[in-house]
Amino acid sequence: MNTAVLMLAAGASTRMGQPKMFLTYKGKTFLQRTAEAATAVSDQCYAVAGSLAGEITLALRPYNVKVINNPLWQNGMGSSIAAGMEGIAQAGITPGAILITVCDQPFIDDNLLQEMINTLQRSGKGIIACTYNDTIGTPVLFTPTYFPLLAQLGGQHGAKKLVQQNPDDVASIPFPLGGFDIDTPEDYERLQQL
């Protein structure tokens, strides 16, 4: 299946006080770890960047990842997803699915992403999402049925509302470590102790 990966790396990281995608874990930045996982499962990888587009482009140079700039990045995750969808459309490709991932979940790896793609093929569902901490969320994979809705997202709300609005079309994958996202210096400190 022709799956594109959309990495969201445009956030302001206000609670962290520094750009989360450049924090390191086991010798690699979160951005590098996400890029390695993405490029291992797809040759169509995109990263949505905001104010740090130049730095992100430079950091991703060793990877087969195209950077899409979101001039409205301060509006939130929904605007970054919409910008990513527009960038993919402008690239002239129509993937069979789009896998959306963030850059502050340090335990995302290629095995998880491949399991999501495999589950999509087996389940016949239009959405594959991960479950952790009694919630459902990223990474999340969508079939083309949902592309127009993803392209219309805006503001702080990401794709989670599409998942919640279509429960009968969702297959989920347990990702216990997915709940370990890094939002504060305290989160990062706990991560370093693992």
Neighbours of 192 (CB within 10 A): 10
> What is the predicted pLDDT for the residue at 184?
77
What is the percentage of the chain residues whose pLDDT exceeds 70?
95
Neighbours of 166 (CB within 10 A): 16
Asked if residues 108 and 115 have their Cβ atoms less than 8 Å apart, the reply is: no
Give the C-alpha separation, 22 to 79, whole Å.
21
- pLDDT tens for 32-48 read 999 999 999 999 999 99
CATH number of 3-192: 3.90.550.10
Tokens of 96: 């069979």
- pLDDT tens for 175-191 read 999 887 777 778 778 87
Owner of token pair 């370990």: 180
- Average confidence (pLDDT) over 105-120: 95
Give the C-alpha separation, 169 to 181, whole Å.
26
Mean pLDDT across the chain, nearest whole number?
A: 90
Q: Which residues are 131's β-sheet partners?
A: 136, 174
Confidence of residue 73 (pLDDT cuts 50, 70, 90): confident
The pTM of the full predicted model, rounded to 2 decimals, is 0.93
> What is the predicted pLDDT for the residue at 25?
86
